[in-house]
Amino acid sequence: MDILISNASGVPIYEQIEEQIKSQIMTGELAAGDALPSMRILAKELKISVITTKRAYEDLERDGYIETVVGKGSFVKGVSGEIMKESMLYAIEELLDKAVDKAMLGKVSLSELQEMLGIIYEEKKNG
């Protein structure tokens, strides 16, 4: 499991860990039943506090991505396609909300915003 931490991103470290694990689950890099490194081992590998990895694992468990078995460790849960899609829609909605705030601040019209989104989407889709 590869996790890269950026101190310059402005995103809390525990959130960076959560998002990267979620992403690896959604892309299939991590499958249902796969064991995650222990909180201590992950903290040691990333050179961060165990409290930080504990927070990330607790949030992932709360959101239904992993399950922790006492004495055995944490494992990827089988996440349904519908739950994955809902999670992605929620994340997209949060980002679009921020984009709309910026657009309104900069007096960018809805049609200009839609055009920009369309261009970006097509560029990403086509490679």
Share of the chain above pLDDT 90, in %: 75
- Is there a contact between 63 and 77 (Cβ–Cβ < 8 Å)? no
d(CA 77, CA 36): 11
Q: How confident is the model at residue 27 (pLDDT cuts 50, 70, 90)?
A: confident
d(CA 52, CA 54): 5
Share of the chain above pLDDT 70, in %: 98
Alpha-carbon dihedral sign for residues 108, 114, 89, 127: negative
Dump pLDDT digits (tens) for 38-95.
Answer: 999 999 999 999 999 999 999 999 988 999 999 999 999 986 667 777 877 888 899 9
Q: What is the mean pLDDT of residues 106-124?
A: 94
Helix (H) or strand (E) holding 66: strand 66-69
pLDDT of residue 60: 95
pLDDT of residue 90: 85
- Is there a contact between 74 and 41 (Cβ–Cβ < 8 Å)? no
